[in-house]
Amino acid sequence: MKTLTFFALALLVACTQAPAQTATPLSGLSAVPGAAQAGAARSGGAWAVGTLATTGTCEMDVAADYTALISHRHRAARLLSQGRMTVDQAVTVQAQADSARADLDAACPNAAATLDATKRARARATLKRIAAILE
Amino acid sequence: MTPEQARAIAKLLSDAADRADAAGEPEVSILPDLAALDDAARAELDAAIKAAADR
């Protein structure tokens, strides 16, 4: 919470002193997971920097991938219930989702771990294959 | 990241921050919440598969 509070205060100061200069850092906050959770705002000659995640953690790097995984499973269940997907397809989605989950868990086993980018890339490739089945 | 994903993550962060505040914890982690949500989604799909197979 300290980092969030600091970030909010930094933005508030920047907005009151130089509102036009804060547009770019703010727009980058939700555009890219991981790297873009950090934002910088310049006011006059001073720099203020805030971040949504503690430096060095990996969970924000995989959070969007987890939500995609969850969304894919929900969507597959809905399509199957509506008769718009076969049981075989749903079983395939479930198996591939399990594989993606294992890779995501390994990519970031805890908040203090360093991201394993290779495992995350493998999870993302699997998530793409699932998305193709759901289309 | 889609807007829906961003909102979901924001809610997870907010809920985790509330819990951390209540427990006096200095750090927040959303990994357990993400894992629990996926476990629930997996169970939902599993139930849908079983129901469809029985039809």
Q: Please tell me whether the overall predicted TM-score, pTM, comes out greater than 0.80 for this model.
A: no
Contacts of A67 in chain B (CB under 8 A): 4-5, 8-9, 34
Q: Which residue has the higher pLDDT, A91 or B8?
A: A91
| Strand segments (E) across A1-135 | 38-43, 46-51
Query: CA-CA distances (angstroms) from residue A124 to A7, A29, A61, A129, B50?
Result: 30, 21, 12, 9, 27
How does DSSP classify residue A31? T
Q: Say what the pLDDT of residue A51 is.
A: 42
Residues in chain A: 135
**Closest Cα in chain A to B25:** A1
Q: What is the pLDDT of residues B3-42, one digit of tens each?
A: 888 898 899 899 999 999 999 999 888 999 999 999 999 9
Helix (H) or strand (E) holding B26: none
Q: Say what the pLDDT of residue B22 is.
A: 95
The interface pTM score, or ipTM, of the predicted complex is: 0.87
**Range A13-16, long-range pairs (CB < 8 A, 24+ positions):** A13/A41, A13/A43, A13/A48, A14/A41, A14/A42, A14/A43, A14/A48
Phi, psi for residue A78 in degrees, rounded to 5 = -65, -45
CB within 8 Å of chain B, chain A residues 48-107: 52, 54, 59, 63-64, 66-71, 73-74, 76-77, 80-81, 87, 90-91, 93-94, 97-98, 101, 105
Residue type, B49: I
Q: What is the average per-residue pLDDT within A25-46?
A: 36
Task: Measure in Å the smallest separation between the Cα of A42 and chain B Cα atoms.
Answer: 25
> Is residue A78 pLDDT above 50, yes or no?
yes
**Closest Cα in chain B to A110:** B31
